[in-house]
Amino acid sequence: MSGFGSLYAVSDEARGSLATVQAKSAWYAILGNLQLEDAPTLNTEQSLAVGLLAFASAPPPLSQIATGEFQTEKDGSGDPSVAFFGRWLVGQIAERLAVETEEQYADLIRATGNDPVHKWLFGPMRRFFSEAASDGLAIVMLWGR
């Protein structure tokens, strides 16, 4: 399974604009104003697609890593998908990731039939969510194939 993905720590104020739209084009217009190029970033390389699949089967709040709080509609355009995690959800996920282990994450990956080599993402993701939560930030996630 290949793909790409990045997570960006942004102000929770982005919620107001993003919550009102679903079309990717509208999200992209808003994202252009968030200055993502200057935001703290986690490049997930090609492991995010596997991670999203693995987290989808985890109990909440970890399952919400697969969807965010809300996301763009699926439109078949091939453009990257985008999801938003508000600061409250970021905090909930950070708390849960703090008590999980890389091996538990590897087990979730194995359960999807994927290679646990992608478990490397667990540590950086845990740190990223923890730092964003400590700073009271939200997260925007972009991913695609």
pLDDT in tens, 29-51: 999 999 999 999 999 988 999 99
- pTM value is 0.94
pLDDT, position 23: 87
pLDDT, position 12: 96
Count of C-beta atoms within a 10 Å radius of residue 9: 23
Q: Dump the DSSP string for 27-95.
A: HHHHHHTTTGGGS-EEE-TT-HHHHHHHHHTSPTTGGGGGT-SEEPPP-SS-PPEEEEE-HHHHHHHHH
84-136 pLDDT per residue, tens: 999 999 999 999 999 999 999 999 999 999 999 999 999 999 999 999 999 99
Query: CATH says 4-144 is which class?
Result: alpha beta
pLDDT at 73 over 90: no
DSSP conformational letter for 10: E
